[in-house]
Amino acid sequence: MKAVIPARRSVVPAAVDVLHEATGVAQRLLAPLLSLADNSDWLVAGSVGEFAAGGKLFQIPRFIFMGPRGGGDTVRLGLFATIHGDEPQGAEAMIAFLQELESCPQLALGYHIYAYPICNPTGLEAATHLNAKGKDLACHFWQGSDQPEAYYLEREIGVHRFAAVISLHSRNNETTGHFRGLTGNVVVDTALVQPALEAANNIIQPGRQIEAGLDREACKSRHVGFLTATQDLSFVPIEINFEIPSMAPRDAQIRGTVGALKVILDSYRTLLATQANI
């Protein structure tokens, strides 16, 4: 069931100018990408909508990296971060990833990458897990929710027909110092998630073998599938929850996540080629 249209919303996506008006943490995070997009042949910045909270207007920013054309159909991927406002590492890693793609566009050959670094702007500003209404947004997708963040992001997922959606999270309450990827699909786990985790975890502890198999109980407890758990989608994307270990050094968290995303691009391209030859 789709979310209720919020009382205040943009009729069309807002122009990039509104993102320059961001303040605080959002301003710090968005500034390098906005500067990059101003002079890029590949990166486009904008906002998918606005909403009011606490007497202020907040935006859901979106950055689209349009990689060089490949030999087949363009593949759309959706990246989502800060669903929980106290997990800014995902946004920082997403920004670093887009900066790396800008420096080497061939990494995104055949892809259009839709990046949503600040999915919970009120929670990010307050450094809280929940949004300004006290809601855990991971529980509000496709539930008929009146939360505007869920509405805007549902609309994006429905319109763009992503081949895969990846949500970036932080493991703030655990002592395990390695990355983890969660998905409800064994094929996706083997073909995409495990190679990505090997690359990410090797940055934290080079040479250490960490089991990265499908953890179904963890999938259930962490709302895996929340971005696509609906019958309303005409095309259901692959969904991956990627968890960043907050106890690792911050630089390693960012580099590990960027490395994992690059591996996913390569692995998915290989998976598509393999399927085409079957």
What is the CATH number for 96? 3.40.630.10
What is the pLDDT, as a whole number, of residue 15? 58
Separation of alpha carbons 256 and 116, rounded Å = 19
For 222, other C-beta atoms within 10 Å of its C-beta total 18
Q: Transcribe 33-57 into DSSP letters.
A: HHHHHHT-SSEEEEEEEEEEETTEE
Distance CA 216, CA 224 (A): 9
| 48 in any annotated domain | yes
Please give the structure tokens belonging to residue 116: 């949503």
| Dihedral pair phi/psi, residue 100, rounded to 5° | -70, -40
3-state SS, residue 105: helix
Distance in angstroms (rounded) separating the CA atoms of residues 69 and 67 = 6
Token pair recorded at residue 142? 């496709």
Query: Is 255 a member of any domain?
Result: yes
Domain count, the chain: 1
User: What is the full per-residue pLDDT of the chain (278 aa) written as tens digits?
Assistant: 344 444 344 444 455 677 877 778 999 999 999 999 999 999 999 999 999 999 999 999 999 999 999 888 999 999 999 999 999 999 999 999 999 999 999 999 999 999 999 999 999 999 999 999 999 999 999 999 999 999 999 999 999 999 999 999 998 766 667 898 888 788 899 999 999 999 999 998 887 655 554 455 555 555 568 899 888 888 889 999 999 999 999 999 999 999 999 999 999 999 888 765 53
Residue 267 counted as domain residue: yes
Q: 1 in a domain, yes or no? A: no
Domain contains 200: yes
DSSP reduced 3-state for 5:
coil
* Model pLDDT, residue 276: 56
> What pLDDT does 235 receive?
85
List the beta bridge partners of residue 242.
Answer: 168, 181
Residue 6 within a domain: no
Distance of alpha carbon 36 from alpha carbon 49, whole angstroms: 21
| Alpha carbon distance, N-terminus to C-terminus of the chain | 36
Contacts of the segment 27-35: beta carbons below 8 A, 24+ positions apart: 29/88, 29/91, 29/92, 29/95, 29/117, 29/118, 30/61, 30/117, 30/118, 32/95, 32/99, 33/63, 33/95, 33/98, 33/99, 33/117
For residue 152, is it within any domain? yes
Q: Residue 274 has what pLDDT? A: 77
Distance, CA of 1 to chain centre: 22
Q: Where are the alpha helices (H) located in 66-210, listed in sequence order?
A: 89-103, 121-126, 148-160, 186-188, 194-204
Domain assignment of residue 40, given as a range: 16-276
The answer as to whether 5 is a domain residue is no
